[in-house]
Amino acid sequence: MTSASPWIRTTTVETFRADVIDESQKCPVVIDFWAEWCGPCRQLMPILEKLADEFAGRFILMKINVDELPEIAGAFGVQSIPFVVAMLDGQPVAQLPGVQSEHHVRQWLESFVPSPATEAYNAGLQAEGSGDLETAEKLFRDAASHDPETSAFQIALARVLLGLNREQECGEIMEALEARGYLEPEAQSLKEQLEMRHVVEDSGGTAEARKALDADPNNRELQILLAEALSVDKRYAEACDLLLNIISTDYTPVRDKAKEAMVTILSAMGPKSKQAADYRRKLATAFY
């Protein structure tokens, strides 16, 4: 029972670690324990093979003949066949004993095999994390097209569009999300970042904000506006230092406004930013 499909494979004792354990770090590996003399195995195997081709690489089907590889069967404690076990990250995550219908096998696979939308989303997060926002945009669009009901995909797309300075497209997504009657915390943060950009653009950007502040250097509102403008230019340290100075020295209501601006800027810097983490600690110390 061999197959030309790249998603259907066999292994040996010597190559099992590379073929199964290591491969399962990349995607689920479904092991089908079978034998030539096993009638039920011949009923189940075509279903597994069909689904392996249909899923097109979202999992690998590894066929192990228990008569030829009793050591591996013994290591998995196989007592009767057909016996199917799924491996992920080097560990067994699900079992499928006995013959099952195609519908049941499909449901079983979908319980641990990432959907195309999830795969695209995860790849998009990797691209975004490496700074490749153009690729991240394409992947998040792909995820959203596969599953338009999952808001996380729409939010991720809006986030990278904002990072690409495509405010109008970001705003359209935010409007659609807000039409549901609520916004998730990250979506709310994106909305605030977008509003901050609009305020900065309406005021003429960093140069105009600095010019206005030079004419009235003690004006806290203008200091906040300059900080917001600096953040839009991704000059986060300058923006945060300016706001921290207000928070540390001004105990009027403008202090709360400076804090709100800084929280929005820290969100724009991203959850994995070490610089943002440092400034969050400084904000906590200054404000509380």
201-287 matches 116-183 in CATH topology: yes
DSSP state of 12: -
Strand-pair partners of 60: 29
Give the amino acid at 6: P
Q: Which CATH superfamily is domain 201-287 in?
A: Tetratricopeptide repeat domain (1.25.40.10)
* Residue 2's pLDDT band (cuts 50, 70, 90): low
Kindly name the residue from 27, 41, 170, 240 that is annotated as catalytic.
41
Residue 10 clears pLDDT 50, i.e. is over it:
yes
CATH of 116-183, one of 3.90.180.10, 1.25.40.10, 1.10.8.80, 1.20.1560.10: 1.25.40.10
**Entry pTM:** 0.69
pLDDT tens-digit map of 118-173: 989 999 999 998 889 999 999 999 999 999 999 999 999 999 999 999 999 999 99
Is the pLDDT score of 3 beyond 90? no
Question: Which CATH number is 8-110 given?
Answer: 3.40.30.10
Alpha-helical (H) ranges within the chain are: 16, 39-55, 70-75, 102-110, 116-129, 133-146, 151-163, 167-178, 185-203, 205-215, 220-232, 236-249, 254-269, 274-287
pLDDT at 9: 95
The answer to whether residues 133 and 160 touch, using CB atoms and an 8 Å cutoff, is yes
Spatial contact of 158 and 187, defined as CB atoms under 8 Å apart: yes
User: Is 199 strand, coil or helix?
Assistant: helix
Instruction: Render 50-118 in DSSP notation, one character per residue.
Output: HHHHHHTTSSEEEEEETTT-HHHHHHTT--SSSEEEEEETTEEEEEEES---HHHHHHHHHTTSPPHHH
Which tens digit of pLDDT belongs to each residue from 201-221? 888 989 999 999 999 999 999
Q: What is the mean pLDDT of residues 217-228?
A: 95
Q: Has 170 been annotated as catalytic? A: no
Active site residue 38: yes
The rounded mean pLDDT for the chain is 93
Spatial distance between the Cα atoms of 127 and 138, rounded to a whole number of angstroms: 10
Q: Write down the domain spans for the chain.
A: 8-110, 116-183, 201-287
Q: How far apart are CA 108 and CA 103, in angstroms?
A: 9
The predicted pLDDT at position 1 comes to: 47
Q: What is the pLDDT of residue 241?
A: 96
Percent of the chain predicted with pLDDT > 90:
83
